[in-house]
Amino acid sequence: MIEQGQGFLRQSGRRFLRHRLAAAGLVILAVMSLLTLLAPQIAPFDPREQIISERLQGPSLTHLLGTDQFGRDILSRILYGGRVSMVVGFISVAVGLFFGGALGVIAGYFKPVDNLIMRLMDILLSFPAILLAIAVMTILGPGLVNVMIAVGVRSIPAYARVVRSTVLSIKELPYCEASVAMGASSLRTIATGILPNSFPPVLVYTTLQIGNAILLGAVLSYLGLGVQPPVPEWGAMVNEGRSWLQSAPLIATFPGLAIFLVVVAFNLIGDGLRDSLDVRLKEVR
Amino acid sequence: MSPYVARRLWATIPVLLGVSILVFSIVHLIPGDPALILAGMEASEVQVAKVRQELSLDRPLYVQYFSYVSRALKGDLGRSIHSRQPVWQAIKEHFPATLELTVASLLLAGLVGIIVGVTSAVKQYSLFDHLTMLGALAGISMPIFWIGILLMWFFSLYLEWLPTGGRDGPLWTLVGLRSLVLPALTLAGISVAMIARLTRSTMLEVLRQDYITTARAKGLSEQLVIFGHALGNALIPVVTYVGLQFGVLLGGAVVTEQIFSWPGMGRLVVDAISSRDYPVIQGCILFFAVLFVIINLIVDLLYGLLDPRIRYD
């Protein structure tokens, strides 16, 4: 079985690397991640440094992407802002995966609590994504950590649904039934039989979800509910640039382009993983 | 009433109950005195005491909840802290603009998405298919506010064809229609991409079915096979999805209205957040959530009507 598992992973890996669009996504993500990780080393200016005499400049050799209304270097702010947006994406998805995944496993494996948990998840899903995030932000107030919690809470019910449906199908398989028949505890069956095999759909969903989380985090910052100025964040940068659209449209264009590139990279990788792992996800609102 | 409809209606009740509990909890989860939060930070002690008494905030939590629900059912969602206008009145004033924007976007997204999706499926692996599917992927990856800003820059500021924002008049007037174009295009953008992708995949699935092979083997024209046999079945999940998009678009309207200063519910709620007008925030979130649940219920019932298998599931 282990050999079969390794063969499946090797085959899937090969299929994934042959997927041209997924490979493109991987390259885009690698470049963007590297640039944001190395921001302190490669950013030409301090992202908060205001040089009023150089405000609203177009791209030049000194400021490759120009400057904003306070004379801050847009490239430096995008590089640093990427760290915030990426962290929001990863941490909020981790929150959703941890809590939603646990609830999904419990609902899928233990029938008596299935209905209760899934009806609770239905309640969370009955709010439009942005409205639920706004409700959470209203309670918690603005700030980076609160954005991650708000976006994470929104992904809990979606994860619970994905994991539950995977667990339901896996627990009916002969090897799981055999494990139970041999007297293995529920915890052992879940840990050794169910969780490793629910990995492919969860991985695909997580990849797609990170892109969505980055988008939602950026929306909250755009609306002024998320990360507060002068901290550079892509959504907030687009919002600031909106007031200067007539005279300096590039202030809002570049951070938006950065969000688009990262999200499209995650979507390409997610699509590639879905094709190579042969996973079909049910649409989750 | 069929058992399916009864079952579906029954399932909605606990969801509505949960939604009301969550929305009611918002004010209680914010650190501080709920009476002061609902009366406003500048309210006098007398005003705070009045709010506390009116909303039963000095009584046990479950009494407060039942009082909240019974008032909400009568259309009493409290008063705005700043304008003193009843929240329900504010919702009634702002909702038509949101509905107009959402319906226009939904029609646009449904029409364009289905046409693009069907054409892509019929011309699978053609240049059109590759380009539109790449476009759809780009569409679902773009932040909605960025699409809006780019459209505003190009059509309003650069070409000067359309207004930058506001709702200049009713939909049936030329100025009204002109002011709706950019917000509707922005809001429809993501849904077009999603609907096109779904239509293409369901259409491809149907085109691989045995009955389609039989239809082709009988010598029917390709047009009759596609429009007479395949399209109807392929569109069942798509129509449901388009219906569900109505709720999603209502959420998206919050951002779109902010970009284009569209005087709808989205602006109402975002303005309320910036001025910490909690009764308005609470009322708007409750209204949106209940509407979302009702729309999902209607779509589920329609799905059962379109596809009898669902009713017996």
Q: Report pLDDT digits (tens) over B43-87.
A: 888 888 888 887 778 888 898 899 899 999 999 998 888 888 999
Domain annotation covers residue A182: yes
Q: Is A281 on the interface with B (CB under 8 A)?
A: no
Domain annotation covers residue A28: no
pLDDT over 60 at B312, yes or no: no
Q: Report pLDDT digits (tens) over A72-131.
A: 999 999 999 999 999 999 999 999 999 999 999 999 989 899 989 998 998 888 888 888
Q: How many CB atoms lie within 10 A of CB A18?
A: 12
Over range B277-281, report the average pLDDT. Answer: 88
- CB proximity under 8 Å: A 145-174 to B: none
Q: Which of A122, A245, A283 sits opposite B152 (nearest CB)?
A: A245
Q: Can you tell me the distance from the alpha carbon of B184 to that of A281, in angstroms, rounded to the nearest whole number?
A: 30
CB within 8 Å: A256 and B289: no
SS3 content of chain A, % helix, strand, coil (to 5): 75, 0, 25
Question: What does the DSSP 8-state code read for residue B168?
Answer: -
Q: The domain spanning residue A121 has which CATH number?
A: 1.10.3720.10
Q: Report pLDDT digits (tens) over A179-229.
A: 888 888 888 888 888 888 888 888 888 998 999 999 999 999 998 888 888
What percentage of chain B exceeds 70 in pLDDT?
Answer: 98
> What is the reported pLDDT for B181?
95
Q: How many CB atoms lie within 10 A of CB A206?
A: 22
Spell out which residues of chain A touch residue B278, defining contact as CB-CB under 8 Å. 138
B114 by Cβ neighbours in 10 Å (0-12 / 13-18 / 19+) ranks as buried
Domain annotation covers residue A46: no
Q: By the 8 A CB rule, do A101 and A202 touch?
A: yes
Q: How many CB atoms lie within 10 A of CB B18?
A: 18
> What residues pair up with A67 in beta bridges, in sequence order?
A73
State which amino acid sits at residue B233.
N
Q: Which of B146, B248, B288 sits opposite A256 (nearest CB)?
A: B146
Residue among B159, B161, B160, B167 nearest B184 (CA)? B167
Domain annotation covers residue A122: yes
> What residues pair up with B79 in beta bridges, in sequence order?
B86
CB within 8 Å: B18 and A249: no
Q: By the 8 A CB rule, do B19 and B289 touch?
A: yes
Residue identified by tokens 């999902």 is: B296
Crossing angle of helices A144-170/A74-109, nearest 10°? 40
CB within 8 Å: B18 and A283: no
| Number of A–B residue contacts, CB under 8 Å | 135
Spell out which residues of chain B touch residue A241, defining contact as CB-CB under 8 Å. 149
DSSP letters, A40-58, are: HHH-SS-TT---GGGTT--
Cα dihedral A90, A96, A97, A98 sign: positive
Spell out which residues of chain A touch residue B259, defining contact as CB-CB under 8 Å. 242
Decide if the complex's ipTM is over 0.90.
no
CB within 8 Å: A267 and B244: no
Give SS3 for A67. Answer: strand
Number of domains chain A is built from: 1
Q: By the 8 A CB rule, do A228 and A137 touch?
A: no
What is the C-alpha radius of gyration for chain B, rounded to an integer number of angstroms? Answer: 24
> What residues pair up with A73 in beta bridges, in sequence order?
A67
- pLDDT band at residue B171 under the 50/70/90 scheme: confident
Chain A: residue whose CA lies nearest to B240: A283
Domain annotation covers residue A237: yes
Chain B: residue whose CA lies nearest to A212: B141
> What is the reported pLDDT for A283?
43
* Gap from B280 CA to chain A (nearest CA, Å): 12
Domain annotation covers residue A206: yes
Residue among B192, B141, B197, B149 nearest A261 (CA)? B141
Which structural domain range is residue A226 located in? 73-277
In degrees to the nearest 10, what's the CA dihedral of B233, B238, B240, B245?
-170
Over range A257-264, report the average pLDDT. Answer: 96
Q: By the 8 A CB rule, do B79 and B47 touch?
A: no
Domain annotation covers residue A43: no
Residue identified by tokens 């969550």 is: B22
Q: By the 8 A CB rule, do B116 and B132 touch?
A: yes
Q: Is A24 on the interface with B (CB under 8 A)?
A: no
Chain B: residue whose CA lies nearest to A139: B30
Domain annotation covers residue A105: yes
Spell out which residues of chain A touch residue B153, defining contact as CB-CB under 8 Å. 245, 249, 252
Q: By the 8 A CB rule, do B236 and B68 touch?
A: no
* Gap from A1 CA to chain B (nearest CA, Å): 32
What percentage of chain A exceeds 90 in pLDDT?
Answer: 51
CB within 8 Å: A139 and B26: yes
Cα dihedral A49, A54, A58, A63 sign: negative
